Structure 1
């Protein structure tokens, strides 16, 4: 029986610049993303890598405290290690951070196992159902693209460059009537595209229903969290007939039966970051399959390391019915030697052993230094407290 022992665990914090000052419900993005990297080193010389986000701050201090639970253990016994780190008892204390702590550790372990056996992670998990994964355009308003015309011009550049056919629009920033006009203008520019609208729960129920009804005739894939609570989502779905997706009211396995019984949503946007890694995402897939709910994939922001893990997750999931989200197009740089390419709206699933991406150590060192210079940032991106539903929207130049 093959046993590869964990010799050391290194945890690093990096910050990578992003293009543009992205606007979202919580305010203006600071122009960089913070990531936590986990490197697991084995006694056989095989090294694995994983990555997680953290909402603007590094999770390194928490993961550092778990190193002693990993060192000396069999790197192949992933289930045992998950139980040591992410058991229900531990979850009582760490709650929603725990899946994000476990994800990079599991990714690094799968990377090691795949490299040791000479197979990709998706083949390790039973084989790819898809060779490439469709991704959605992720369109944010920015400080430089506030008008309808500016947003459409920016979206056109992104869609033409990458060949997207599914377009996600981040809303909840400006008044609903402004954002409705943006969707209509985009639909006129791209009549064959599919649209997903994500106000991050910023609208009240009346605003959400009115927005939905004003978009009749447009190819809407789904509304993602148009309102905040589970009961309001159910009411919105019942009033409009639109497909409803969420990555806020169902973020734990315990939430799934509740949304199913209430008939609140159609699609749960899982991801390996928030659902206990790749194995957790597969467990979510099976759970939703049994209940007749649909599966999508949310993006909390990622470099090529976590995106590769997302691609492997998507490649082995039989009921992923939607293009996955990714912020990848906004990164100014990456920490892998050959960045993942989006062509015709799709990314090829890596086929080399393990994650299938080659780490660039010099880039990691560069962005470790950048993190030391810039540090963490609060996800709440502005001084004023943002209420949910939102009572005060950002002013635009075209809807006074």
Structure 2
């Protein structure tokens, strides 16, 4: 029997409601954008991927999608060659930026990722095996995630308050954390910082420590502090946090902090591509890398990253951005097949109110997800919800993530907080 071939690829941009979550560059817009990639084969199977959906990224995805016909979904090298060829031809191989905080010199990995995930999903369907087995086998049956805390407004200006309410004080963050822990069972907590002066964010972490004495805590100001401030915060929170994530920008800055503290430093900003690893390792800039298959080029390259971190004695966790169930399923399978995963993964999943996969597969218990056991990713699109979220995309008017632009419509004098303190 001849192998199945890719017959067509469909890229569907979607939008879903997002709360006013604050960060170093501003505040989340009322709508978060994602793109769902469906890779169809001539044998009638469909593989799924999910990625960002700003206009420039969608244009690249569409150009690649139109060129994948006839490829065997097991031939991942051929898929990557198409991505490299099309991006060179269509866009000159330019870099990409996502959300004002993540910038890469080449868009190849971010464009390749959803197609690679969809092909590996297809490989699972073809062989009757879950993606975790296609990736080499499960080393854990459930994957721990961390509750993701945010400073936030009660609601978007001009819209009703959301069910989470305001979180601008330590007491309000503790209440938010109780909702995460009581409702989802998370066994660790991460606070997105870079919003208030560092002393106030330290107050919040210490309040969380008092409220949850046994839970590991993390603080991520997305480069909001200078080197000296980062060192001072590390001194204050030594023994309180399990790590600080990107306290100051850049490999050089992180190395300067690392040299002056024993508190582990993690990153999803200064090490987000393979070319960043040699410099960061040589400088001892970070002790933990937060992988992200959307940025690193898919599941196989994320496994390569895991091998590199193991070789050099680095810790490994997983970064999250606003996402839906297809991405969560891919993250879970990847984590299940990663022996060296040393910290619970991040996830924005509790903050969403809509999804486009059929329910019943991804359900948190004690802060962890059981690894899906069905073929491929183990999830199926809800076509009605896909249509609804696509209609929301068409109607919402948001076409790229612009936290700073949106913030300035509310606070015209707002300045990005990078190294502000």
Q: Does 1:104 align with 2:114?
A: yes
Normalised by the size of structure 1, how large is the TM-score? 0.93
What are the ranges of 5 or more consecutive residues in structure 2 without an aligned counterpart?
96-104, 154-165, 409-413
Q: Secondary structure at the match of 1:69?
A: coil
Q: Secondary structure at the match of 1:151?
A: helix
Which contiguous aligned blocks of 4+ residues in structure 1 show a shift greater than 6 angstroms?
none
Match of 1:394 in 2: none
Match of 1:35 in 2: 34
> Residues 366-394 of structure 1, C-alpha deviation per residue, up to 9 Å, x if partnerless?
00000001132443332334152126xxx
Match of 1:187 in 2: 209
Q: How far apart in 1 are the matches of 2:387 and 2:86?
A: 36
Farther-moved stretch of structure 1 (377-386 vs 363-372): 377-386
CA RMSD of superposed structures (Å): 1.8
Match of 2:381 in 1: 359
Match of 2:6 in 1: 6
Alignment of 1:27-176 (within 5 A): 27-54=26-53, 59-86=57-84, 90=88, 92-94=93-95, 95-143=105-153, 144-176=166-198
Match of 1:16 in 2: 16
Query: How far did residue 58 of structure 1 move?
Result: 7.0
Alignment of 1:294-373 (within 5 A): 294-338=315-359, 340-373=362-395
Q: How far apart in 2 are the matches of 1:121 and 1:217?
A: 38
Query: How far did residue 221 of structure 1 move?
Result: 1.5
> Residues 103-162 of structure 1, C-alpha deviation per residue, up to 9 Å, x if partnerless?
111111111111111111111122101111000010001111112211111111111111
Work out whether residues 23 and 140 of structure 1, in 8 Å CA contact, stay in contact via their aligned partners in 2: yes
Distance 1:87 1:256, change over 3 A: farther
Distance 1:22 1:78, change over 3 A: same
Count of residues in correspondence between the two structures:
388
Query: How far did residue 83 of structure 1 move?
Result: 2.4
Q: How far apart in 1 are the matches of 2:305 and 2:203?
A: 36
Distance 1:364 1:88, change over 3 A: closer
Q: How far apart in 1 are the matches of 2:345 and 2:323?
A: 13
Distance 1:182 1:342, change over 3 A: same
Q: How far apart in 2 are the matches of 1:131 and 1:58?
A: 38
Work out whether residues 133 and 323 of structure 1, in 8 Å CA contact, stay in contact via their aligned partners in 2: yes
Normalised by the size of structure 2, how large is the TM-score? 0.88
Q: How far apart in 1 are the matches of 2:363 and 2:2?
A: 35
Work out whether residues 141 and 336 of structure 2, in 8 Å CA contact, stay in contact via their aligned partners in 1: yes
Q: How far apart in 1 are the matches of 2:223 and 2:141?
A: 34
Work out whether residues 21 and 142 of structure 1, in 8 Å CA contact, stay in contact via their aligned partners in 2: yes
Distance 1:380 1:29, change over 3 A: closer
Q: How far apart in 1 are the matches of 2:337 and 2:12?
A: 29
Work out whether residues 3 and 76 of structure 1, in 8 Å CA contact, stay in contact via their aligned partners in 2: no
